[in-house]
Amino acid sequence: MNKYDYTYAVARIRANEAKLLSQQQLSSVIAAPTFDEALRRVSDLGYDTDGGYIRALDKRARAVDELVFGIVPDKSMLDSLIIKNDFANLKLCLKALVCGKSTDGLLTTPSVYDPEEIKKYVFERKNDKLPECMRHADRSGYRILTQTRFAQLADSVIDRAAMEQTLLFAAKADNDVMREVAEAFVALTDIKVLYRTIKAKKEESFMLRAVAECAAFDKKDIVRAAAKGEESFFEFLSHTPFAKTAQSLKVSPAEYEKKSDEYILGVLDRVKNDPFGIAPIVAFRFAANTELINLRIILSAKHNGMPEDSIRERVRGADV
């Protein structure tokens, strides 16, 4: 694809970037004395809050994806960003099938594949009709759930398959930005997963099944370090680009999620000014979704009476 094919799309993105909330605007919402006042300020900033803040944020998320996927010249370039939603749908459908539950209103979009088709083939056990990249995860997940009821292991196997496919789609895109974002996402996810397994005192064999290979570190080496315990794990990570981010695991899972998002924001910030490629589009989508995460955190915290300082600690991005 010619790099100039992205010129129009990037121009549209630049126009919409101006609509993203500034740190000052977010700070104003945080500083609101009550939940109702915070909601009013969000409404003044352009959100339709008539149906409540959750509906308002969901509506904005859909609008962001309609914009991004509507203007990108080649939608498959974004597959690595959303394939995790397909595997989340696979997990949901398998559990619903085994437990006799409904998936109504629970399937996740945007996705690479039609969620209703995934549901149909999972429920009918037509494994060969599923996308090829999901067949092994479907067979393994179904076998684990029906034979052992070990849902955590089934989740781990499917989540690892999602990460592996994320890397494959990024490689297929043949774009440095997509590869770097995918590698960072998988590495950060591997670190989170391994820390959880350490805390849960899982065996090394479980760890190996739960994490994906990535360019940032050798899978066997990091699993071996994790199996020896927390001190060995953090010593290993101290020699990787994720050393500082990993330290936030010691604070809380929420702090690690925040620092992971900020790490990827930093990756995208370095490349978002390219006027001829996909980088500004990916950076905009991530920034817009970060804004939504921040507003969800702020409004939920306001609704529950959380103090202002605690809210500021949880918000992603620059100090607000």
Predicted confidence (pLDDT) per residue in 69-102, tens digit:
999 999 999 999 999 999 999 999 999 999 999 9
Q: What is the pLDDT of residue 319?
A: 42
Contact 171, 104 (CB under 8 A): no
CA 158 to chain centre: 15
Q: Which of 241, 245, 204 lies closest to 225 in space, CA to CA?
A: 204
pTM: 0.91
Model confidence at 1, in pLDDT bands (50, 70, 90)? Answer: low
Mean predicted confidence (pLDDT) in 175-200: 96
Determine the Cα angle at 88 with ends 82 and 93, to 5°.
135
Which contacts of 80-83 are long-range, i.e. CB under 8 A and separated by 24 or more positions? Answer: 80/166, 80/167, 80/169, 80/170, 80/173, 80/178, 80/181, 80/182, 81/178, 81/181, 81/282, 81/285, 82/110, 82/111, 82/112, 83/111, 83/112, 83/133, 83/162, 83/165, 83/166, 83/169
The stretch 263-290 carries a mean pLDDT of 89
Question: What are the backbone angles phi and psi of residue 68, rounded to the nearest 5°?
Answer: -60, -50
At residue 317 the predicted structure's pLDDT band, cuts being 50, 70 and 90, is confident
With tokens 């499917």, the residue in question is 158
Report CA-CA distances (Å) from 311 to 275, 292, 302, 306, 315.
Answer: 35, 15, 8, 7, 7
pLDDT band (50, 70, 90) for residue 149: confident
- The 3-state DSSP class for residue 307 equals coil
